[in-house]
Structure 1
Amino acid sequence: MNSWGETFQTFGIIAAELVALFLAISFLVALFNRRVGAKRIQGWLGGGPVVGPLKGVALGALTPFCSCSTLPMLAGMFKAGVPFVTAASFLVASPLLNPIILTAVAVIFSLPVMLGYAAVAFVGSLLIAASWNALGLERFVKRVRVEGEKAEEPWQGLRAEMPGAWRSARSDFRPLVLPLLVGVSIGAFIYGAVPESFLTGFAGPDNPAAIPVAALIGIPLYIRTEAALPIGLALSEAGMGIGAVFALIIGGAGASIPEVSMLTAIFKPRLVATFVASILLMAIAGGFIIPLFA
C-alpha cells in the first residue's frame, strides 16, 4: 500500500498531466481541423460500416495516447462530422493498440503474447464499434457542433489561427474540469489504498474467477498501458496468472475512472455505461484468449 503522501503526489501528477495533455491535444486538433477542413477529414475517415472502423483503428494505432488523452481527439472527430462507427473504433483502439505498446509487450512478455494481445485489441475494437453502430447508440452522443454545418472560412495562417484554436481548446475543456478532478481523485485513492498483495490475492492462479476479478479491478485504475506492462510483469512474477494480468491491463488502460468521468461530457449515461461494459467484456475475453498464445 502506498503512503497518503504518495497518493496526493499521484493525484497532482495525474491531474496536471491530463490537463496539459487535454489542452495541448485539443489545441492541435483545432488547428488541424481548421487547416485541413471538415469535409476533407470526413472524406478521409469515411467509408461506411466496414472501412470506416478500420480507419478508426488505424488512426488509434498511430496515436499513442492514454485513454484520457483520446477524448480531445474524439471530440474533434465529432466536430468534424466523422462517422460514429469510425470514432467509436478509434476511442477503443487508441489507448490499447500502437507500435510502442506492441513492442513493449513483445519485449516484456514474448512475441506470441504480443500477437495475441494485438489480435484481441484489433478485433475487439472493431466488434465494439460495429455492435454500437448496429444498436444505434449514436443517438446517445451529446450534441456536438459540426464544423461543416456552416461555410468554412479560409485558413488565415498559423499565427492568426492560434488564438481561435486556444479558445476552442479552453471551451472544450471547461465542462470536463469537474469530471476530471472527481475521476482522478477516485483513481488516486484506489492507487493509495489497494496494495499489490490484494491484487495477487484476488486474481491469483488459484482463484477460478481470477480473470473477471482482475478485469473488474482494472476498470477503476488509471494506468497508461506502457506503464502498466512492467507492473503486469511484476504481478505475474508475484503469482498472478498472465490471463489475469492482461485482463487488468486492458481494463485499466481502456476505461479508467478519469476517462469515464470525462466521457460524461460527450456521451449520455447509457452510452457511458455501454462503453464500460464493452471494455470489461473485452478485458475478460482477452484474459482467456491471450494465454493461448503464450
Structure 2
Amino acid sequence: MAIFEWLNNQLLKMEWLSWLVRLLVEDVFGLSMQTAIGASVHFFIYDVIKIFILLAVLIFTVSWVQSYFPPERTRKILGGMQGFKANLTGALMGTITPFCSCSSIPLFIGFTSSGLPLGVTFSFLISSPLVDLASVILLASIFNWSIAIAYVLVGLVLAVIGGTIISKANMTRYVESFVLHSPVLDIPQAELSRKDRFDFATNQVADIFNRVWVYVLIGVGIGAAIHNWVPESWVSSMLGQDHWWSVLVATLIGVPMYADIFGTLPIAEALVGKGVGLGTALAFMMSVTALSLPSLIMLKKVVKAPLLLLFVGIVVCGIFIIGLLFNAFAYLFI
C-alpha cells in the first residue's frame, strides 16, 4: 500500500511537479504562496502541465488500443448482441473513445446507419464523452481512486439505463431518414503495422490537443480564480452541500456550456475545495461534458424533437440523481 500510494502521488498527482512549480513561483517569480496571486499562479501552471502530460500519455495509450477497434469491427461485435448485454457493450465501447460530445456524434451516426440498435448507439453516445480512461486517471490524480471508480460505474449505469429506456420506447421513427439509409461500405480492415498504430495514436494526440487545449486553459483559469479569489462563503451560499437544489442548479448551468472533462475537472476541483458538495461539482462536470449546447444542436440535425427531448431528459435526471447520491455518500469517498 505504501508503494502504491507513493506511485499514485508521484505519477498521477505529480507531487514532484507541484514542488518544482512552487520553486518557480517563489524563487523565479518572487511570489509568495501565501498570497492569492501566488497560489493562483501555482494552481494554473501546475494543473495545466499535469493535465497535458497525463493527456498525452493516456490518449496515446487509448488510441493505440482503439486502433484495434475500427467502426466496422465495432459494428460486427455489437451487431450480434441484444438487450442489456448490447447496451452494456455499447457503453463500454464509449469508454475507449476519448472524444468530447460533439466528436462522438459522427460515430453515433455511423453506428446508427450501420444498423445497430438505437439503444446501443445512445448508450455509446452517453458514455463516450462522459467516461474514458483519461477521465478516470485525471479524476484519480485530482481526487482519489475511490471517486474515480465510482464515477466510472455511475457513468456506465447511466449510459446503459438511458440506452435501455430509448430502446424500449421504440424511437427509431424519430431518427432522420438520411441517417437510417446512409450507405455503409463493408470493407475488411487491413492489418495495421506497428508504425501505422504509432502514427494513428500520435495523430490522435495532436488532434485532441488541438481541440481541447483552449478549454483546458480556460477551465484551469476558472479553477484558479475560484480556488483563490472567490470567497468560500459566497460559493457555499450558492452551491453549498446543504442546499438540495444545488445539484439541479449545477446541472442546468452546465448544459449551455461547451467543454470536455479535461477542462471541467479543474473547476470541479476548485468547487470542492470551496466547500461545494462532491455530487454538485461532479453534476456540473457531467452536464457540461454530456449535454453541451453545440452537441445538442448537432444531434438535432439527425434526430427529431421527441427523441432529442427524451435523451436530454434521461441524462439530466440521471445526472441529478447521481449528484444527490454523491452528496449523500461523500463521506465514503473523501
Normalising by structure 2, we get a TM-score of 0.61
Q: Which amino acid aligns with 1:68?
A: C
Residues 172-209 of structure 1: per-residue CA shift (max 9 Å, x gap) = xxxxxxxxxxxxxxxx9xxx9xx966876532234331
Partner of 2:286: 250
Confirm whether residue 285 of structure 1 aligns to residue 321 of structure 2.
yes
Provide, for residues 49-96 of structure 1, a one-character-per-residue CA deviation record: whole Å limited to 9, x for no partner: 122112211210000111111011111112211221210100000011
Contact 1:232 1:245 in 2 (8 A): yes
| Correspondent of 1:65 among 90, 99, 110 | 99
Shift of 1:107: 1.5
| Aligned residue among 206, 213, 216 for 2:249 | 213
User: Residues 104 and 110 of structure 1: is their aligned pair in 2 closer, same or farther, counting only changes over 3 Å?
Assistant: same
Q: Whole-Å Cα distance in 2 between the matches of residues 79 and 136 of structure 1?
A: 16
Is the 1:215–1:280 contact (alpha carbons within 8 Å) kept by the matching residues of 2? yes
Post-superposition Cα deviations, 1:243-276, rounded to whole Å, max 9, x if no partner, equal 1101101111111111111101111011111111
Quick check: 1:204–1:241 contact (8 Å CA) kept in 2? yes
Residues 204, 240 of structure 1: 8 Å contact kept? yes
What CA deviation, in whole Å up to 9, does each residue of 1:85-129 have, x standing for no partner? 210100000011111001111111111111221121011110010
User: Aligned in 2, Cα 1:231/1:52: closer, same or farther, shift over 3 Å?
Assistant: same
Shift of 1:41: 5.2
Deviation at 1:241, TM superposition (A): 1.6
Give the 3-state SS of the residue equivalent to 2:282 in structure 1: helix
Equivalent positions of 1:234-273 (< 5 A) are 234-273=270-309
TM-score (norm 1): 0.68
- Report the residue type matching 1:129 in the other structure: G
Counterpart of 1:236 in 2: which secondary structure? helix
Residues in 2 aligned to 1:212 and 1:82: alpha-carbon distance in whole angstroms? 33
Q: Is the 1:70–1:91 contact (alpha carbons within 8 Å) kept by the matching residues of 2?
A: yes
- Whole-Å Cα distance in 1 between the matches of residues 186 and 276 of structure 2? 56
| Cα distance per residue 1:152-183 (max 9 Å; x no partner) | 5867x9xxxxxxxxxxxxxxxxxxxxxxxxxx
Q: What count of residue pairs does the alignment treat as equivalent? A: 224
Bigger relative contact order, structure 1 or 2, given CA contacts below 8 A and separation 6+?
Answer: 1
Residue type of the partner of 2:142? I
Residue of structure 2 equivalent to 1:45: 78
From 212, 226, 229, give the equivalent of 2:262.
Answer: 226
Amino acid at match of 1:112: S
Query: Could you tell me which of 175, 182, 202 is aligned with 2:238?
Result: 202
Once residues 77 and 255 of structure 1 are traced to their aligned partners in structure 2, the CA distance between those partners, rounded to angstroms, is 20
Change in CA separation of 1:199 and 1:41 when aligned onto 2, cut-off 3 Å: same
Measure, in 2, the Cα distance between the counterparts of 1:199 and 1:267: 38
Q: Is the 8 A contact 1:199 1:214 kept in 2?
A: no
The list of structure 1 runs, each at least 4 consecutive aligned residues, that deviate by more than 4 angstroms after superposition, is 152-155, 195-201
Cα RMSD for the two superposed structures: 2.9
Cα displacement (A) at 1:237: 1.7
Q: How many Å separate the matches in 1 of 2:260 and 2:146?
A: 22
How many Å separate the matches in 2 of 1:205 and 1:153? 52
* Aligned positions of 1:149-228 closer than 5 A: 201-228=237-264
1:132 counterpart residue number: 166
- Cα deviations by residue, 1:30-59 (Å, 9 ceiling, x for unpaired): xx66xx5xxx65431120112211221121
Give secondary structure in 2 for the equivalent of 1:278.
helix
Partner Cα separation in structure 2 for residue 41 and residue 208 of structure 1: 41
Letter in 2 for 1:227: G
